[in-house]
Structure 1
Amino acid sequence: MPAARKAARHSENARRRSPCPVACALDIFGDRWTLLVIRDLMLGRSRFKDFTASPESVPTNILSERLRRLLAHGIVEQLPAAEGAKHLAYKLTVKGEALRPVLKAMRQWGLDWEKGTKAALEG
């Protein structure tokens, strides 16, 4: 393992409350907004203004912080929205795409058990 990756992993481990994988996942995703940002990325939204137009109306300061956290954890990457554009776009990394079955399972649970819900994430 490269030294930089070892250092990053050590730094990440130092902030964890326990080695439990569920606790570690909750440290990243266990707030009100992060999984909704990931859902929006899976639905094809990619720009900051796209996320703010989401029906849940994530406050812009919180959205900025959640995107920074997802970038720091390697779950999303940032790229120019278009060649020569000043705006940035966000895209799920391979690590982020690995969350797709998790969100699909959560969607199905919501459809099965919470009346009045409808699927936004298909497939």
Structure 2
Amino acid sequence: MAAMDLFGRRWALRILWELRAGPLGARALLARCEGLSSSVLYQRLRELTANGIIAPTADGYDLTPLGASLGHALRPLDEWAIAWAQAQDARPEQAH
């Protein structure tokens, strides 16, 4: 599977983002990803594991070194999203 296909799948990047600070179990991931179904979670965990991005641990799932390197690529996107959200908060509400 091509990386863009994998990361473009619904919830894949969110799961990786939640794992950035350390391992999490499936229940913790479900709690952090409101709206994520357990079936989709387990499918994404299988795909990410099969592609060497995450690995199962005693504490749940954790990023592999390859997966952790993706976090460096996502930081600028996170910084942009924070700036965008602040700009949205600063905008006057539009009349409907």
Q: TM-score range by the shorter chain?
A: 0.7 to 0.9
Corresponding position of 1:95: 66
Alignment partner, residue 31 of structure 2: 53
> Over residues 14-42 of structure 1, what are the superposed CA-to-partner deviations in whole Å (9 max), with x where a residue is unaligned?
x5xxxxxxxx3311100220000001101
Which structure: greater helix fraction? 2
**Aligned counterpart in structure 2 of residue 76 of structure 1, from 46, 51, 54:** 54
C-alpha contact (below 8 Å) 1:75/1:93 kept by paired residues: yes
Between the aligned partners of 1:52 and 1:108, the Cα distance in structure 2 is 24
TM-score by length of 2: 0.80
Cα contact 2:55–2:61 (8 A) shared by 1: yes
1:34 and 1:64 map into 2 onto residues whose CA distance is: 11
Cα separation, 1, equivalents of 2:36 and 2:21: 16
Contact between 2:14 and 2:33, CA under 8 Å: does it hold in 1? no
Taking every aligned residue pair, what percent have the same amino acid on both sides?
31
- Check the 8 A contact 1:79/1:90 in 2, yes or no: yes
- Deviation per CA, 1:58-111, whole angstroms, max 9, x where unpaired? 110000000000000000111223xxxxxxx11110110011112211111111
Q: Distance in 2 between matches of 1:31 and 1:38?
A: 12
Contact 2:7 2:13 in 1 (8 A): yes
User: Normalization by structure 1: what TM-score?
Assistant: 0.64
CA RMSD of aligned residues (A): 1.7
Consecutive unaligned residues in structure 2, runs of 5 or more = 90-96
> 1: distance between equivalents of 2:17 and 2:75?
9
2:11 paired with 1:33: yes
Q: Does 1:106 align with 2:53?
A: no
